[in-house]
Amino acid sequence: MFGLQKATQVTSDPDDLTTLRWLAEQYAYPTRPSSAPCLARPHLRVNMVSTVDGAVTFDGRSGELGGPGDKAIFRVLRALADVVLVGARTAVTEGYGQPAPDEVFAADRRTREQTPAPALALVSRSLSIPADFGPVGHSDTVILTCRTADAERRGALVAAGATVIDCGDESVDIDRVLDLCAERGWVRVLGEGGPSLLGTFIDADVVDEVCVTTSPTLVAGDAGRIAHHSAPGRKHPMRPATILTDEDGFVFTRWTRDVGGQA
């Protein structure tokens, strides 16, 4: 039986306050405890962008695929999150800065007892992160790695003021990463890629939501898709929860875990 779920059109102005607040209502995280004794597994939401034909980058960067509406969604998702979890290589390639407070959502974050801005967690098995990369020495940034990571690189990052935390022995254990998030009260987790990290999330079956911006373009080429992993693929059922579009032709979908579906 086919059902028609119409897309809601929103303005693509990333500074329109009415739209931003409406988006925050649509993307609100489910309520979860953030303190003992009832620490819950964090809710992991992932935000990605791709073209109509599935390319995740253009000229090597995902940022080349976005538009004003995508920037508005990006802004809102960060304003709702406790921590931004991202692969270090993606963060360096995309030129990440430290997440900053957003005055539009400052009062809402205080009401939810959140910090003024989300923390930043960089995931890196190799620790191939330039020591002068902007967020490295910030007090609200952590680098999540494994015990066998290169000792010389670890030393350089620590000397630059980095907080380096081992979450596994020979690789980064995603369950340990989420345990760490829970311990720090980061129950609203926003994953921002890249494809390898999302593939690891999927393989570990820890993804609760996927937010996908579809750019109204076709690019072909050899760009990858939003997730990949070396292990054989498995089906993880999801359901469409939100479908939005804007006047620029972008489509924004939010998919949630289908707890009743069959893998």
**10: confidence class by pLDDT, cuts 50, 70, 90:** confident
**pLDDT, tens digit (0-9, with 9 covering 90-100), for 176-206:** 999 999 999 999 999 998 899 999 999 999 9
Residue reference for tokens 């760490």: 180
Q: Which residue has the higher pLDDT, 3 or 257?
A: 257
Q: Residue 195 and residue 230: Cα distance in Å, rounded?
A: 12
Asked if pLDDT for residue 134 goes beyond 90, the answer is: yes
Rounded to two decimals, the pTM is 0.91
Asked if pLDDT for residue 2 goes beyond 70, the answer is: no
Single out the residue of 251, 180, 224, 238 nearest to residue 45, CA to CA: 238
Question: What pLDDT shows up at residue 3?
Answer: 64
**242: confidence class by pLDDT, cuts 50, 70, 90:** very high
Over range 5-33, report the average pLDDT: 84
Q: Residue 145 and residue 123: Cα distance in Å, rounded?
A: 6
Amino acid found at 88? A
Task: Return the number of other C-beta atoms located less than 10 Å from residue 15's C-beta.
Answer: 12
**pLDDT, tens digit (0-9, with 9 covering 90-100), for 210-232:** 999 999 999 988 888 888 888 88
Q: What is the dihedral of CA 117, 198, 252, 99, to 10 degrees?
A: 20
Are the C-beta atoms of residues 21 and 107 closer than 8 Å to each other?
Answer: no
Determine what percent of the chain falls in helix, strand and coil, rounding each to the nearest 5. 30, 20, 50
Structural domains in the chain plus CATH codes? 40-257 (3.40.430.10)
Question: What pLDDT shows up at residue 158?
Answer: 97
Asked if pLDDT for residue 253 goes beyond 60, the answer is: yes
Over range 118-143, report the average pLDDT: 97
Q: Kindly state the greatest CA–CA separation across the chain.
A: 61
Single out the residue of 64, 83, 67 nearest to residue 123, CA to CA: 83
**pLDDT, tens digit (0-9, with 9 covering 90-100), for 53-83:** 999 888 878 888 889 999 999 999 999 999 9
**142: confidence class by pLDDT, cuts 50, 70, 90:** very high
Q: Residue 181 and residue 114: Cα distance in Å, rounded?
A: 14
Question: What pLDDT shows up at residue 176?
Answer: 96
Question: What pLDDT shows up at residue 79?
Answer: 98
